Amino acid sequence: MVHLAVALDGAGWHPAAWREPDARPDELFHPRYWGDLATEAERGLLDFVTIEDSFGPGPDRTDRVRGRLDAVLIASRVAPLTRHLGFVPTAIATHTEPFHLSKAIATLDYVSQGRAGVRVRIASDPADARHFGRREFPVPLPDLAEEAGDWVEVVRRLWDSWEDDAEIRDAATGRFVDRDKLHYIDFTGRFFGVKGPSITPRPPQGQPPVAVLSHVPEIHRLAARAADLVFLTPHDTGQAGALARELGDLLVFADVEVVLDETEQAARDRRARLDDLAEHSSDALVFTGTPAQLADHLLAWRDAGLSGFRLRPAALPHDLTAITRALVPELQQRGAFRREYESTTLRGLLGLDRPVSRYAGATR
Amino acid sequence: MKQIHLAAHFPGVNNTTVWSDPRAGSHIEFSSFVHLARTAERAKFDFFFLAEGLRLREHAGRIYDLDVVGRPDTFTVLAALAAVTGRLGLTGTINSTFNEPYEVARQFASLDHLSEGRAGWNVVTSWDAFTGENFRRGGYLPEDQRYQRAKLFLQAASELFDSWDGGAVVADKPSGTFLRDARAGAFEHHDAQFDIAGRFTVPRSPQGRPVILQAGDSEEGREFAAATADAIFTRHGTLDAGRKFYADVKRRLPAYGREPHQLLVLPAATFVLGDTDAEAEELAGIVRYQQVSGQTAIKFLEQVWNRDLSGFDPEGPLPDVEPVTGTQLAKGRAQTRMYRDPVETVRQWRELAEAKNLSIRDLVVEVSGRQTFVGSPSSVAEAINTYVQEDASDGFILVPHITPGGLDEFADKVVPLLQDRGVFRTEYSGTTLRDHLGIDRSADVAAAERKAR
């Protein structure tokens, strides 16, 4: 079995995607658009969708999509419209408060009843930093990575800072909570300190899965320290296998951008049409072909050791629909993908157990 | 006749929220928020309101455990509620101390898009250093800078909201023009608190900017609200006090070039309903004692005495020991004037207890009781209408004492009576929160600010 996720971003990952015939560029900031994408992903039984985010200004030109909504809020807005799909919005560790994001993801886990995750991202661009105006930039990548690692550590400790059964509602003693089951996290690191406990009780999954997208050794190390799930960008099977072996303690997903059509020629033509409208370079492999060809490709990478794939639709909704309505049945026929959801939580879908709080049993 | 504005406050983490009642449900499961929001929308309320907490309260160095503990994240719940409601305004508290304008403006503008124009922001000024321990930016502001920070924060956020023109997104496929102007979202803001510049990422939202609520009773708070808020969130127990406050804040508006209807006065209010007035009074008595358990009464006194009183019997007389001054026992709750002069407070309470023969618990019920409206549905409807027609308020933010069903009876029994009197809507006439509140002024504000630049 493979795990399948789809990475949602604007009108799709190709900068010309918004000009496709079925694109809805005037609805990119409307909840209906995001609701439709999420319900389509759930129709395809996908494990989860990620929602990209950035504090960055975007290209300073008029022919590209610019503007984006907060990813955690998009996820919260559409989660109640679905029942099984996981939601993994991007959070920017560099300029945000881990206390705020910890309770936000915990709350997303409550509103989705156990389907929240978070993808942690570093913002190294000085233009992002100017939006906050509090820090000298640039900051060396190893420092940003260490800070992001601390950020995740704080977020995770805060999730654990309430034991599961802390709320007791004991009428006899008048106590709503057992405060021995609430814990100060007392984190002190190089970059910041946080006292705790969280204001929000432990989320339904205990620890919503944490994901990191990595291209370089510094971020590989961050992923190994902080994440459950890592998105990598191999370009061939050999590389995929090597990366899977290197980070094998984690769930390893390959990111693949996809241009999918019924025939290979149609996909190539569409790709050429998109490329003519806008230059596009991708960090990930851009797969252009049929869903059946993509299935071959994914299964070869699975055999090399990957756990799953985060597919980036070049154009939305076209390539998402090709994934849910053609790739998924293809994988199902080959016995490589679920036919129905086997769990109502994201951890469950990913085959992760629900951990106990690290503070369970500890006394203050 | 003035039309009444009504809002539903999700019950909070204080002793007015009764968790011991068999009907009391979860304060954290999403279904509770859905229940209250849908009840409010069914009753055609203006908005749902969610408070914020950023540190668990402490008492004598330990986490306070006698009231409801735990809250969700404001933005996340409001965005999710946008999926299960269609017209109800979605407002929440977000403080200006442990946040940055760029991030908060982005979240509110996103919420306004995702709710199609229903977002509202209760701007609060500050918490203390105790709360600051949860934030990497840490610290807090001295009291004299609280409103400065809040003012500048709101000013910066407003610039960000206004940084996109409503028509900036063209999204014309044939010509390949997504944006009319490549500089959409450009901003630059430098003041004593913020030094920021760049491009805001969220296009202009349906309301232009969220509705601004401001809580606060102090001189500075009133002035801040008069200058910047669409509604002021307050608490005044009596008709006379309400009228004085109402007149005072509305009088401040012309100095800012604003009309009286541009700042709504919306006090928080609680209610207890019964089939008859007598039955409601009796129920109210029961609720007061549910709100003040023996343990709660002792902790309440300890905040004033500022010392351990656990040896005293809550059903017995007031402690015969004297209060001590110094470090506050209670942390993370709003400090009231009462705690600032404990000796005088204790003297008055002893007098009161003696005159009425009150036990510790009776006394706490007496001095902390905050039931605004008690009576039959028709009496409560009448009282609410009187407050509004006599200019003690423009409506109320109702705080039920039971989660999540505490508003059901009000929606079913009181709202129809207000509708019969013609003082409350029977259908929403608009789609945005500004429409509901009748305060659509975002366009002139934006125009004025553009002109001023």
pLDDT, tens only, A155-170: 999 999 999 999 999 9
pLDDT digits (tens, 9 = 90+) for A229-242: 999 999 999 999 99
DSSP code at position A136: -
Residues B70, A200: contact at Cβ < 8 Å?
yes
Q: Do A35 and B83 touch (CB under 8 A)?
A: yes
pLDDT digits (tens, 9 = 90+) for A61-112: 999 999 999 999 999 999 999 999 999 999 999 999 999 999 999 999 999 9
SS3 B242: helix
Q: Do A132 and B102 touch (CB under 8 A)?
A: yes
| Best CA proximity match to B103, nearest among A93, A200, A243 | A93
Q: If you search the block for the tokens 């009228």, which residue do you land on?
A: B243
SS3 B25: coil
Residue ranges of alpha helices (H) inside B28-100 are 30-42, 74-84
Q: If you search the block for the tokens 């006065």, which residue do you land on?
A: B265
Q: Do A35 and B197 touch (CB under 8 A)?
A: no
Q: Do B73 and A97 touch (CB under 8 A)?
A: no
Contacts of A69 in chain B (CB under 8 A): 109-110, 113-114, 202
pLDDT digits (tens, 9 = 90+) for A269-323: 999 999 999 999 999 999 999 999 999 999 999 999 999 999 999 999 999 999 9
Most A CBs within 10 Å, among B136, B164, B202, B296, to test the A interface: B136
Q: Do B30 and A111 touch (CB under 8 A)?
A: yes
Name the strand (E) or helix (H) holding B132: helix B129-132
pLDDT at A217: 96
Q: Residue A312 and residue A85: Cα distance in Å, rounded?
A: 17
Written as one letter, the residue type at B178 is F
Q: What share of chain A is helix, strand, coil (3-state, %, to 5)?
A: 40, 20, 45
> What is the chain A residue with the closest CA to B292?
A174
pLDDT digits (tens, 9 = 90+) for B312-362: 999 999 999 999 877 778 887 655 545 668 889 999 999 999 999 999 999
Q: Residue B116 and residue B431: Cα distance in Å, rounded?
A: 8
- Does the A3-134+206-349 domain belong in CATH 3.40.50.2000? no
Q: Do B179 and A66 touch (CB under 8 A)?
A: yes
Mean pLDDT of chain A: 97
pLDDT at B124: 87
CB < 8 Å from A in window 259-278 of B: none
| Best CA proximity match to A71, nearest among A94, A86, A90 | A90
Average pLDDT over residues A175-188: 97
| Best CA proximity match to A141, nearest among A187, A211, A93, A91 | A93
Q: Which residues of chain B are under the pLDDT cut of 70?
A: 126-127, 138-140, 333-340, 441-453
The greatest distance separating any two alpha carbons of chain A, rounded to the nearest whole angstrom, comes to: 74
pLDDT at A58: 84
Q: Residue A256 and residue A310: Cα distance in Å, rounded?
A: 6
Q: Residue A301 and residue A293: Cα distance in Å, rounded?
A: 13
Instruction: Give the nearest partner residue to A133 out of B134, B196, B202, using CB atoms.
Output: B196
Q: Which two tokens stand for residue B281?
A: 């009074």
Write phi, then psi, for B438 (nearest 5 degrees): 65, 35
Q: Do A199 and B62 touch (CB under 8 A)?
A: no
For chain A, give the percent of residues with pLDDT over 90: 96
Domains of chain B, start order: 5-276+372-452 (3.20.20.30), 293-367 (no CATH)
Contacts of B185 in chain A (CB under 8 A): 57, 66-67
Is B23 an 8 Å CB contact of chain A?
A: no
User: Residue B412: CB partners within 8 Å, gap ≥ 6?
Assistant: none
Q: Residue A171 and residue A176: Cα distance in Å, rounded?
A: 8
Q: Residue B373 and residue B380: Cα distance in Å, rounded?
A: 6
Q: Residue B18 and residue B404: Cα distance in Å, rounded?
A: 11
Q: Do B102 and A131 touch (CB under 8 A)?
A: yes
ipTM of the complex: 0.98
Most A CBs within 10 Å, among B35, B56, B98, B104, to test the A interface: B56
Residues A168, A175: contact at Cβ < 8 Å?
yes
Instruction: Give the nearest partner residue to A80 out of B84, B106, B171, using CB atoms.
Output: B84
